[in-house]
Amino acid sequence: MLNASLKELSASLAAKRISSVELTRAFLARIGELNGKLNAFITVDADKSLAQARAADGLIAKGAARPLTGIPVAHKDIFVARDWLTTCGSKILSNFVAPYDAHLIERFNGAGAVLLGKTNMDEFAMGSSSESSFYGPVRNPWNPECVPGGSSGGSAAAVAARMAPAATGTDTGGSIRQPAALSGISGLKPTYGLVSRYGMIAFASSLDQGGPLAKSAEDLALLLNVMADYDKRDSTSVERAKEDYTRDLDAPLSGLRVGVPREHFGEGLAPDVGKAVEAALAQLEKLGAKRVPVELPNSSLSVPAYYVIAPAEASSNLSRFDGARYGYRARDYTDLADMYRKTRAEGFGEEVRRRILIGTYVLSHGYYDAYYLKAQRIRRLIANDFTQAFKRCDVVIGPTSPTVAFRIGAKTSDPVQMYLNDIYTIPANLAGLPAASVPCGFGAGGLPVGLHLVGNYFSEAKILNVAHRYQRETDWHAREPAGLKS
Amino acid sequence: MNWEIVIGLETHAQLSTVSKMFSGASTAFGAAPNTQASAVDIALPGVLPVANKGAVERAIRFGLAVGGTINRRSIFARKNYFYPDLPKGYQISQYELPIVQGGTISILTKTGERSIRLTRAHLEEDAGKSLHEDFQGMSGIDLNRAGTPLLEIVSEPDMRSAEEAVAYAKTLHSLVRWIGICDGNMQEGSFRCDANVSVRRPGASLGTRCEIKNLNSFRFLERAIEFEAKRQIEILEDGGKIAQETRLYDSDKDETRSMRSKEEAHDYRYFPDPDLLPLEVSEEWLNEVRGRLPELPQAKREKYQREYELSAYDANLLTESREKAEYFEATQKFLSGPAPKTVANWVNGELSALLNDRGVDFSRVLVTQEAFARLLDRIRDGTISANAAKGVLQGMANGEGSADEIIAKRGLKQISDTGAIEKIVDDVLAGNAKQVEDYRAGKDKAFNSLVGQVMKATQGKANPAQVNEILKRKLAR
């Protein structure tokens, strides 16, 4: 049951083979068993979850169930949920109980899903390893000595270890896709604007996008059906007709043009990852897809541009955490400036402070044009690269991350090495494009490898179709971490 | 050698929307602290701003009214600084691309009419309020005002005296109320000015300026500029230099004092707010707003001078507010015959004074335009004297009835019957031989005494013009 797909769980609930309360208890038990080891959850509240499960059972009994009714879903601790501690992985919000629900939480509540718990993450989603959390590092279920990727590492580890059937995350530079890849699960970052950012604690507003993490592309489609929704409270939310993201899952891939960017197969790509990705491309060709070489000539500029834009926005977005109205406040201070200084120095971790400093610097008088404006121009060039590429192909495919999961602590002292983890994922954020990662094999140390699929704007259904057809032919996504078998 | 004062004003007009610039919370004044601060206003984690269409429309209305350019695409930017009454740690404003650019405001001073150029007008949100008085060793924060929509209107440094600056501020104040974008309540801070003041020798390039913050009355604006100009002139005449700085006006001491120097100025790190899309104004919307714009005060002023032959001064006073101008025009229509000068005099004079006394303005009609026209008719047809009419107007405002009813009730009808007046004059002349003699001996004062006697005999009801005329005729014999 812990291994079942969302479709199977839904069918079992509908047929009353199991109740939502039983299902929720089972996952809570699994969390109880493994969280001490993996640290995937920051907050679990069985009473609250079970109350929702009972309500869901009521709906099911009345015949008012919808596809996710009664199914437990774990949420990244970046989404505020009413009456839940919502920390964003930071000491500065370590006492913050949210008084309202994020749009995404409203959507899941409206669908009758059960909030299973709040997952661990890099502090304020700044990181690629889930090591920067105030609540300690998350461990990779495939090898607890390794990181699960980040920043949505808690969600990825929870799904990989079958502590949750599905989870949500956010992706600013790869924070859904990279942990999905490193943890051997599937993850989707939708087109910017498809999922409302209301109630999603902002890191870099122009890049942040919420999305699902699950065991399969089919599950991602079911989750996206709930998450994608126009929200007038988010000015960047896109108003468009509702879609059923499951509609094209089984469409044949014959004639599909798969763009393979030379730039994502060069220096820096680990051979084991390259090999798994090559095999996946061959598999897609067997399914009728055609390989088309494409170029993303400005790819190499994406990491530097990202590390100007994201910290710039973050430096401003995080100004509200000043100890004045909520959250952590330093105990001893002499005056207002001292209160700000100490609260923020004590409340934010090293990586967050580093990015606030970088962001403040690039926005400063005299540096703005050289950094921020130039980065914005690069951003347009990168988006344009994709526009050109999509004239020749339907989906761009390559590796999600240059290596498999690395050991905890291996990159914490070298931020640039850490930042290069997201070299293949960042361009989709800069361009606002939808992209997914699905498991495509194992590399060194038996650790999972992710296949990265980028589509054109609002082509989520197409990406999920390609991923699902691939998953029909392969079983990488169905593998479970050895030693944690459910 | 003389000095020239150069003044530019930055005016914050609070836009009269029901809800805030970027949240749905109420903008009503005077609520208990923090009861009108929503999740967005207190900047809870995860909340997002949504621009208030009503505020944008008011900005467009202003831009059209001053003949400025409405930018079809403008950008909201973040102005970053830390302060407890600024919950997000940044203020959402407009920086590089404001919604309105250019435009002019025409002002009237003793020296005549002048046009003041506007640089720009942009939308922004207000901060909250820090309360330092009621807390020992602490400050209270009231975020009710946080997020209130403001239009910041920036003039060019086109004014050359405190008088011109006040005329500009008053004209602007009248305009924003006229077009219904701001209630203009200065006590509540709905309309406040920052003045940039510098001095120079005529013909020289601009001097170093100081900015005086938050002047919330026309009198303070005038006093602050006068003090500041004098301060700067004294420094320069002593061979000193002006330091560019921000200053505060202390109305108790009637002086300005330094708040922060240029070196202490913040680096606000402006950048486009990624939470808000560029503000787009469609042709259709622009035309719709233009179509709903009322006739503007400037157009009315010109019309009054051209069509009614009123003075620029009278026309200016009549167009102080839209309600007043409308009152003037409606009264005209109800009058039995055209008498724009009389109506203007009474609207600007007695009626304005009456409303002022009672602490109301032309938006509260104490006396209907039609009733007021009847009163003026009674002056014009000689039924009552202008002097008596003042009392009737008071009575009307007190709800004692119509002009005719009050005239009848109080017996104020003038005696205009020549025969009757002649008879009374004859009696007075007969009983005041001494005065008649004095008058004939060249003592003009005696005449006034005789008029007084006639008026007394008629209890003030004799038509004064007729009394004068008859007395003169009879004395001349």
Side-chain half-sphere CA neighbours of B384 within 13 A: 23
- Asked if B239 has any chain A CB less than 8 Å from its own CB, the reply is no
The pLDDT assigned to A270 comes to 97
Which amino acids of A are annotated catalytic? 76, 151, 175
Averaged pLDDT for residues A31-56 = 98
Side-chain half-sphere CA neighbours of B145 within 13 A: 17
Contact B269 A365 (CB under 8 A): yes
Identify all chain B residues contacting A232, using CB atoms and an 8 Å cutoff. Answer: 50
> Mean pLDDT, chain B, as a whole number?
93
Distance (Å, rounded) from C-alpha A190 to C-alpha B337? Answer: 74
Distance (Å, rounded) from C-alpha B383 to C-alpha B381? Answer: 6
- Asked if A390 has any chain B CB less than 8 Å from its own CB, the reply is no
Domains of chain B: 4-288 (no CATH), 295-410 (no CATH), 418-476 (1.10.10.410)
Spell out a b/e string for B187-224, using b for 16 or more CB atoms within 10 Å of the CB, else e.
Answer: eebbbbbbbbbbbbeeeeeebebbbbbebbbbebbbbb
Identify all chain A residues contacting B44, using CB atoms and an 8 Å cutoff. Answer: 80, 98-100, 326
C-alpha distances out from residue A101 to A20, A198, A231, B39, Å:
22, 9, 13, 11
CB-CB contact of A116 with A68 (8 Å): no
pLDDT digits (tens, 9 = 90+) for B164-201: 999 999 999 999 999 999 999 999 999 999 999 999 99
Q: Of all helices (H) and strands (E), which one includes residue B190? A: none
Distance (Å, rounded) from C-alpha B198 to C-alpha A347? Answer: 45
- Asked if B141 has any chain A CB less than 8 Å from its own CB, the reply is yes
How many other C-beta atoms can be found within 10 angstroms of the C-beta atom of residue A302?
27
- Asked if B265 has any chain A CB less than 8 Å from its own CB, the reply is no
Range B161-164, long-range pairs (CB < 8 A, 24+ positions): B161/B5, B161/B7, B161/B109, B162/B5, B162/B7, B162/B221, B162/B222, B162/B223, B162/B225, B162/B226, B162/B229, B163/B109, B163/B110, B163/B222, B164/B7, B164/B107, B164/B109, B164/B114, B164/B116
Q: Residue B1 — pLDDT band, cuts 50, 70, 90?
A: low
The pLDDT assigned to B477 comes to 67
Distance (Å, rounded) from C-alpha A180 to C-alpha A162? Answer: 13
Quick check: A64 pLDDT over 90? yes
Distance (Å) from the alpha carbon of B268 to chain A's nearest alpha carbon: 8
pLDDT digits (tens, 9 = 90+) for A193-226: 999 999 999 999 999 999 999 999 999 999 999 9
Q: Checking phi first, is residue B90 left (phi over 0); if not, alpha (psi -120 to 50) or beta?
A: beta
Distance (Å) from the alpha carbon of B187 to chain A's nearest alpha carbon: 29
Averaged pLDDT for residues A399-428 = 94
Identify all chain A residues contacting B275, using CB atoms and an 8 Å cutoff. Answer: 202, 205, 235-236
- Asked if A94 has any chain B CB less than 8 Å from its own CB, the reply is no
- Asked if A206 has any chain B CB less than 8 Å from its own CB, the reply is yes
> For a pLDDT cut of 90, what percent of chain A falls above it?
96
Identify all chain A residues contacting B276, using CB atoms and an 8 Å cutoff. Answer: 235
Q: Residue A100 — pLDDT band, cuts 50, 70, 90?
A: very high
CB-CB contact of B361 with B173 (8 Å): no
CB-CB contact of A261 with A296 (8 Å): yes
The pLDDT assigned to B272 comes to 97
Q: Residue B33 — pLDDT band, cuts 50, 70, 90?
A: very high
With the C-alpha atoms ordered A275, A281, A284, A285, is the resulting torsion angle positive or negative? negative
Does residue A151 have a cis peptide bond before it, meaning omega lies within 30 degrees of 0? yes
Quick check: B90 pLDDT over 90? yes
Q: Output B7 or B438, whichever has higher pLDDT.
A: B7
Contact B88 A319 (CB under 8 A): yes
Distance (Å) from the alpha carbon of B139 to chain A's nearest alpha carbon: 10
Instruction: Please name the member of B51, B89, B267 whose beta carbon is closest to the beta carbon of A320.
Output: B89
Instruction: Please name the member of A98, A202, A364 whose beta carbon is closest to the beta carbon of B269.
Output: A364
Contact A360 B269 (CB under 8 A): yes
- Quote the tokens at residue A332: 């001893």
- Asked if A361 has any chain B CB less than 8 Å from its own CB, the reply is no
Contact A235 B275 (CB under 8 A): yes
Distance (Å, rounded) from C-alpha A400 to C-alpha A443? Answer: 13
With the C-alpha atoms ordered A410, A412, A416, A422, is the resulting torsion angle positive or negative? positive
Distance (Å, rounded) from C-alpha B151 to C-alpha B13? Answer: 5
Q: How many domains does chain A have?
A: 1
A7 by DSSP, 3-state: which?
Answer: helix
The pLDDT assigned to B239 comes to 94
- Asked if A236 has any chain B CB less than 8 Å from its own CB, the reply is yes
The pLDDT assigned to B154 comes to 98
Q: Are strands A395-399 and A257-261 parallel, antiparallel or unpaired?
A: parallel
> Mean pLDDT, chain A, as a whole number?
97
pLDDT digits (tens, 9 = 90+) for B321-348: 999 999 999 999 999 988 999 999 999 9
Averaged pLDDT for residues A262-272 = 94
Quick check: A155 pLDDT over 90? yes
Which of A144-153, A370-379, A390-399, B463-472 is predicted least confidently?
A: B463-472
The pLDDT assigned to B434 comes to 87
- Strands of the sheet containing B90-94, edge to edge, are B90-94, B76-80, B271-272
Distance (Å) from the alpha carbon of B172 to chain A's nearest alpha carbon: 33
Burial class (CB in 10 A: 0-12, 13-18, 19+), A350: exposed
Print the domain residue range for A331.
Answer: 1-486
The pLDDT assigned to B386 comes to 86
Burial class (CB in 10 A: 0-12, 13-18, 19+), A391: exposed
Q: Where would I find the beta strands (DSSP E) of A59-128? A: 72-76, 114-119
pLDDT digits (tens, 9 = 90+) for B295-317: 999 999 999 999 999 999 999 99
Contact B82 A96 (CB under 8 A): no
Instruction: Please name the member of A198, A206, A315 whose beta carbon is closest to the beta carbon of B46.
Output: A198
Instruction: Spell out the residues 6+ positions from residue B20 whose beta carbon is closer than 8 angstroms to its own.
Output: B26, B27, B38, B40, B41, B52, B125, B147, B148, B149
Contact B277 A236 (CB under 8 A): yes
Instruction: Please name the member of A79, A320, A364 whose beta carbon is closest to the beta carbon of B267.
Output: A364
- Asked if A128 has any chain B CB less than 8 Å from its own CB, the reply is no
| Phi, psi dihedrals of residue B219, rounded to the nearest 5° | -65, -45
pLDDT digits (tens, 9 = 90+) for B363-391: 888 899 999 999 999 998 888 888 889 99
Q: Give the CATH number, domain containing residue A78.
A: 3.90.1300.10
| Phi, psi dihedrals of residue B191, rounded to the nearest 5° | -145, 110
Decide if the complex's ipTM is over 0.90.
Answer: yes
Distance (Å, rounded) from C-alpha A104 to C-alpha A278? Answer: 36
